[in-house]
Structure 1
Amino acid sequence: MPTLSPSQLPSHSSVAIVGGGQAGLSLSYHLQQRGIDHVVLEKHHAMHAWQNQRWDNFCLVTPNWQCKLPGHEYSGSDPHGFMKKDEINAYLAGFRAKVDAPLIEGVTVRRVAPRAQQAGGGFGVSTSAGDFTADQVVVASGGYHLPIIPRLAERLPAGITQVHSEQYRNAASLPEGAVLVVGSGQSGSQIAEDLHLAGRKVFLAVGNAPRCARFYRGKDVVDWLADMHYYDMPVHEHPLREGVRDNTNHYVTGRDGGRDIDLRRFASEGMELYGVLKGLEGTTLQFACDLARSLDQADQVYNGINASIDKYIEKNGIATTEPASVYQATWVPAQERATLDLAAAGITAIVWCIGFQPDFRWVEAPVFDGRGHPGHVRGVTQQPGLYFLGLPWLYTWGSGRFSGVARDALYLAEKIDALRLREEEPNESAEDMPAYS
């Protein structure tokens, strides 16, 4: 089925999918398998985030074999490698062509709200191309909507260039001079490395993100964790329960075939590390004195994951070519530094890498908590017919990966089909109703 134009917006659809990324198209694939009428609405164009919100040297942090979108598994020659940005987009373009979803691009969904039963039930959907109704709605627009930039950014000197991680492309896109990267999660640590490798002077405000090894005892750590079923553990079985959804992902990289990201090594090579950014006074930034603790905690997680792999190897009698090992710090901060004068340090640009906030204000249903996050069980909300797909830890750690999205989409397709069949069952007539005395 060809991509539709906004003028072809239906007056009614059995299912409305909001979001044309890998999550929305994965669900479309499974709905097509079941012959369920649906439409996919995308504000920009399909796979927009992958094409427009990644830096030039971006690559996957999980090996290629984990790319298992429905009906479209990775089939290249390097299953244990890490696809680069252009390769990822080519893979996703192939998936889009294969799914051939009833997709309408360039349409913004402005409001989704349940309709009263006397008005026909289901949902009213208001869009930039007009309004329509749907029996069921799936929000597949992800959870990374509003870039987080602290208010102190408004008081920074006008001459300093500020970009969020979603806007960063390469070192040459920033003015000459030193660069401050704020945040050390996956994006922050990799962008700091990108700038460092390009020969730029980098200052990095380190947060509490954990880290893990790229390879350990002869195999990618992701391979070990998959063998150990870490990516299959449902959120309700995790020790932190739903609290795990607030965790920051471990930093590691697939660049140049994959390697650890070791901030201590960067520091020994000239990168300047600070603690968490706390404030601004004039041109002087203020930081928490927690750098040493953050580095130690990241290393503790690193060694803890490796120790769990050691136990798995020993328990299962697995032969390996490499012995167990423990990471030992190669650099420690001589002292905690609480301030940094931007002018004296020659900093001309800041890259904010402190994440995103969700923005589901257009979904008018009583399913959200005080922070704007939807309450759900495996994507199913308490509002009948309303679902979420493509969120981190929607069901498992793997939900944030291509293979996990495919599994989550299949589950929701089954739920959607079951509700559709129930609603299509004819109502019992009065004579069929049981009699009571």
Structure 2
Amino acid sequence: MAVDRGEAERVEALVVGGGQAGVAASEHLSRFGVPHLVLERGRIAERWRSWRWDSLVANGPAWHDRFPGLDFPEYGPDDFVPKDRVADYFEAYAEKFAAPIRCGVEVTAVRRNAGRPGFRVETTAGPVEANYVIAATGPFQRPRVPAMVPETAGLLQMHSTGYRNPDQLPDGAVLVVGCGSSGTQIADELLRSGRRVYLSVGPHSRYPRRYRERDYCWWLGVLGRWDIEAPEPDTRHVTIAVSGAYGGHTIDFRRLAERGMTLVGRTAGYEDGTVRFAPDLADNLAAGDRSYRSELQQADDYVARNGLDLPAEPEAWEIPADPACVTDPVLALDLSAQGVTSIVWATGFDLDFSWLRVDAFDTAGKPAHRRGVSTEPGVYFLGLPWLSRRGSSFIWGVWHDAMYVAAHIATHRQYMAYRSGGEG
């Protein structure tokens, strides 16, 4: 439906973003009887389709990484679902309850109305007036690439959002910067394709993919770890290395090195064709080992405490010896001399709420909220890490957060609808 660019379309609640957070918000708003509209600048679950590499699968098994009202009938519960099927899933889920999602419309500005309730929302299809606005754009907003290696360096550079498959890159070795799920999976795929790969490994945590016949998602659930409301001090931004690729396996950087990958430390700088690395590789691997062993120990303690019949797995505790690239680390890499023709920056994302021009941010520019209810009345956030708990940015976690936000809006509407006995 075309919208006149002068006269604003009026809705009760406007949801910005049609990914997993936006679809979840729409479902709960519908259940609470809140009239609303969802605006998505691309397609439903666009980031799953166009900001991911071809072979990506969900990092959690099908029984876990889903909404409560729909499963993946063609996949087993322990399968890891391909990215395009995940995107189709959200589209099918939205169709289940006829979600009012309008695709191909970008929100460019949100401002509070002066002297009256609600917000004026500028979009590429004309203005919208809304009493409530939910920012459901998620955490993957603006790819972060360090301003380190100049474009004049003579090699291909891309963020992980631009990587699709090994054939996309020119012949030669590849430096992958970042050891989280994206960087590690991309590096592994490149190695399997026959490339020579350097992987820059910074501080990280890692988990067993499966242990004692249970996926790590199950262990985090029974141990109550998904429901932790705040991260441990100094751990909020620690990279987590986990993978569902190739049927799901535990990430062990030393075993990647055994297969021919060269591990290097944190990428520290660039000068005259040479990338420098911090001398921290061994320390970063050791810290990752500590987090890994801690997960195993907590699982073992839970089994013993509850008398569960889950077979012991002593081999999971075995950690290979440090390979040569760890004991004699590469601290400087001459890109040309080593035939490096590409760099993939798997360095994460920054938030971008420049379109949300309201008083909903702290002094550092980060969303100021409690469980998604912002400091600006009528403005809400969904899909952000640690929005209410550890699971908030995961598929099932955002569904539960959306229920709370929708309920908050429904309750506020009841107050606004109140009329005293003397009012007409």
Deviation of 1:156 (Å): 4.9
Letter in 1 for 2:348: G
Tell me, yes or no, if structure 1 residue 334 matches structure 2 residue 324. no
Residue number in structure 1 paired with 2:117: 121
Q: Distance in 1 between matches of 2:3 and 2:382?
A: 23
1:215 to 189, 210, 213: 210
- SS, match of residue 109 in structure 2: strand
Tell me, yes or no, if structure 1 residue 384 matches structure 2 residue 382. no
Tell me, yes or no, if structure 1 residue 251 matches structure 2 residue 241. yes
- The range that moved more, 342-351 or 103-112, is 103-112
Residue number in structure 1 paired with 2:362: 369
Residue number in structure 2 paired with 1:142: 138
Q: Distance in 2 between matches of 1:263 and 1:77?
A: 29
Deviation of 1:77 (Å): 4.3
Contact 1:67/1:73, CA 8 A, preserved across alignment: no
Relative distance call for 1:196 and 1:5 in structure 2 (3 A) is: farther
- SS, match of residue 243 in structure 2: coil
Q: Per-residue CA shift, 1:186-209, capped at 9, x if unaligned?
A: 110111111111111001111112
Residue number in structure 2 paired with 1:109: 107
- SS, match of residue 285 in structure 1: strand
Q: Per-residue CA shift, 1:68-124, capped at 9, x if unaligned?
A: 3253234444111111223323322321321322122121111112223x2x21111
1:268 to 258, 279, 282: 258
Deviation of 1:47 (Å): 0.8
Contact 1:299/1:327, CA 8 A, preserved across alignment: no
Q: Distance in 2 between matches of 1:356 and 1:239?
A: 21
Q: Distance in 1 between matches of 2:226 and 2:74?
A: 23
Deviation of 1:410 (Å): 0.8
Q: Distance in 2 between matches of 1:183 and 1:133?
A: 42
Give matches, 1:231-310, under 5 Å: 231-235=226-230, 238-240=231-233, 245-248=236-239, 250-310=240-300
Q: Per-residue CA shift, 1:136-180, capped at 9, x if unaligned?
A: 10000112211111112325513x011110010011110010000
Contact 2:180/2:242, CA 8 A, preserved across alignment: no
Q: Distance in 1 between matches of 2:295 and 2:255?
A: 20
Contact 2:44/2:87, CA 8 A, preserved across alignment: no
Residue number in structure 2 paired with 1:45: 43
Structure 2 spans left out of the alignment, 5+ residues: none
- SS, match of residue 65 in structure 1: coil
Relative distance call for 1:274 and 1:194 in structure 2 (3 A) is: same
Contact 2:14/2:132, CA 8 A, preserved across alignment: yes
- The range that moved more, 408-417 or 369-378, is 369-378
Q: Distance in 1 between matches of 2:151 and 2:275?
A: 11
Q: Per-residue CA shift, 1:237-295, capped at 9, x if unaligned?
A: x543xx654333x2121122211111111112211111111111110111111000011
Letter in 1 for 2:342: A
Residue number in structure 1 paired with 2:413: 420
Q: Distance in 2 between matches of 1:176 and 1:187?
A: 21
Letter in 2 for 1:377: R
Contact 2:58/2:65, CA 8 A, preserved across alignment: no
Deviation of 1:45 (Å): 1.6
Q: Distance in 1 between matches of 2:395 and 2:8?
A: 30
Residue number in structure 2 paired with 1:58: 56
- SS, match of residue 153 in structure 1: coil
- SS, match of residue 190 in structure 2: helix
Letter in 2 for 1:19: G
TM-score by length of 1: 0.91
Contact 2:360/2:379, CA 8 A, preserved across alignment: no
Percent sequence identity is: 37
Q: Distance in 2 between matches of 1:426 and 1:152?
A: 61
- The range that moved more, 187-196 or 219-228, is 219-228
Residue number in structure 2 paired with 1:82: 80
Residue number in structure 2 paired with 1:435: none
Residue number in structure 1 paired with 2:34: 36
Letter in 1 for 2:52: R
Deviation of 1:7 (Å): 6.2
Letter in 2 for 1:303: R
Contact 1:41/1:108, CA 8 A, preserved across alignment: yes
Q: Distance in 2 between matches of 1:44 and 1:228?
A: 38
- SS, match of residue 372 in structure 1: coil
- The range that moved more, 224-233 or 401-410, is 224-233
Tell me, yes or no, if structure 1 residue 98 matches structure 2 residue 59. no
Deviation of 1:218 (Å): 2.1
Deviation of 1:183 (Å): 0.7
Residue number in structure 2 paired with 1:192: 187
Number of equivalenced pairs: 420
- The range that moved more, 326-335 or 375-384, is 326-335
Relative distance call for 1:266 and 1:253 in structure 2 (3 A) is: same
